[in-house]
Amino acid sequence: MKKILALVLIIILALSLLVGCGGSKSETKAPDEGGDKEAPAELVTVTVGASPTPHAEILAVVKDAMAAKGYELKIVEFADYVLPNTALESGELDANYFQHQPYLTTFNAEHGTHLVSVAAIHYEPFGIFPGKTKTLDELKEGATISLPNDGSNETRALLLLQQEGIIKLKEGIDASSNATVLDIAENPLNINFVEMEAAQLAISLPDVDLAVINGNYAIQEGLNAASDALAIESQEGDAAQTYANILVVKEGNEDNPGILALIEALKSDAVRDFISETFQGAVVPMF
């Protein structure tokens, strides 16, 4: 009888230990990694074409802000003013950032593209830079001045030369025109004008007396319009508004959530401070 009772007690004790271990195991079980917690959403890529400086540098400032909004900002750099527009039209890019409205308007008309501005971000003053001739007062008869050969930027260069009294343009020429050297009405010093691709202006500066150079290409060659140019566009005129550099998309994508997020990120205090501190007047925020 005692043996049977002892056996029963042993069985009860063993069962209680098993239940206890099972309960302990359940309480210390690691949580299921795929439980109620949602996995982080994959970032949506927004691809933007840009000139290397200052545009790509400005875009780089907002990469973290874009990631926080759920977007990976991919920046593709272009060395010219044509490919970033054709790539946007073909769908290789979601947006581009390198041009002003007069250039975009002319490009659409000449190439049949359907690109629109969604935001003005900054303005780069055009400057007249010294080459062989070091001051405007030293400019002699028959001197050579180079300027960009695309319609809107050539107009801009000619207006700056007129601002400084070097030439006088025909009546009616303004920022909306597509002027060339053929629209010069008066050239008292018989200046020789060399029209060339904007990207070549700063590089060829040692070969000419003066050059009128786009802001981004000047910066790319270590030149600052605010400190190195002999003259810059008057910011009291309409140049800043007319030639503000814009974020551009293909028509129909104006309200794309990724584009709206990018506009918000670009129009931030962080970007304004970066532009002001980095470029010292060669680039001016427009927001």
- 0.85 surpassed by pTM: no
Instruction: Using only the alpha carbons of the chain, give its radius of gyration.
Output: 32
Which residues in the chain come in under a pLDDT of 70? 1-40, 236-237
Structural domains of the chain in order of their starting residue, each with its CATH number: 44-124+243-285 (3.40.190.10), 127-237 (3.40.190.10)
pLDDT in tens, 128-174: 999 999 999 999 999 999 999 988 899 999 999 999 999 999 999 99
* Cβ atoms 94, 249 nearer than 8 A: yes
Residues whose CB is less than 8 angstroms from the CB of residue 160 and which lie 6 or more positions away in sequence, other chains included: 126, 127, 128, 212, 231, 232, 233
pLDDT in tens, 34-57: 444 443 579 999 999 999 999 999
pLDDT in tens, 112-126: 999 999 999 999 999
* Cβ atoms 155, 148 nearer than 8 A: no
Taking the C-alpha atoms of residue 50 and residue 58, their distance in angstroms, rounded to an integer, is 10
Q: Which two tokens stand for residue 234?
A: 């008057």
